Amino acid sequence: VADWAEDGLSFVVKDSKKFAEILKQHFKGSLQTFIRQLHFYGFRKLDAHNGGWSFAHKHFRKDKPELICEIRRKTRADSSANGAATQAEVQQLRSQVSQLQDVVEDLRSQLDSVLTCLGTAGVVDVVKKSDGKVERLAVKAAALTNMIEEASSAALKAERAAEERSAAAA
């Protein structure tokens, strides 16, 4: 069912079904739970062997049984050293997420206001879903063109008026 690999550096489970049946007699939990525990103790899965699987650990050697006492369950400190986030980092990320959610909500509110103004001006047709999100936005090109021309014209008039005031003051 299971045996050492030829090099003695890993163990190989040749028949997963039989191994799972035997495991039930000696281990509380499923095969997946057993594999999870192997990972907690630092075992790493190797390539599959003819339909089976194998795990290795630097202190689990066929010819060095005295090393087995060196196998320890990983701790949170071990996880932090291996790239997992610390509690302070997690809190900082939560804070950033909260700030980003606030920014997104503000942007949604601003977009909603702009769409309402454009809809009122007849420039766009907005169709919203029941949750308030925009489903379809149809821009009326002619109305948008008129709005741009009016804004352009108003800007030109304001510029000319400013020039006239400036010339009259001089």
pLDDT per residue over 87-113, tens digit each? Answer: 888 888 888 999 999 999 999 888 888
Work out the angle between the directed axes of helices 31-40 and 16-26 (0-180°, nearest 10). Answer: 80
DSSP-based three-state secondary structure for 49: strand
When pLDDT is cut at 50, 70 and 90, the band that residue 135 belongs to is low
CA gap 11, 53 in Å, rounded: 9
pLDDT at 84 exceeding the cut of 70: no
pTM of the model: 0.44
Query: How many other C-beta atoms can be found within 10 angstroms of the C-beta atom of residue 54?
Result: 21
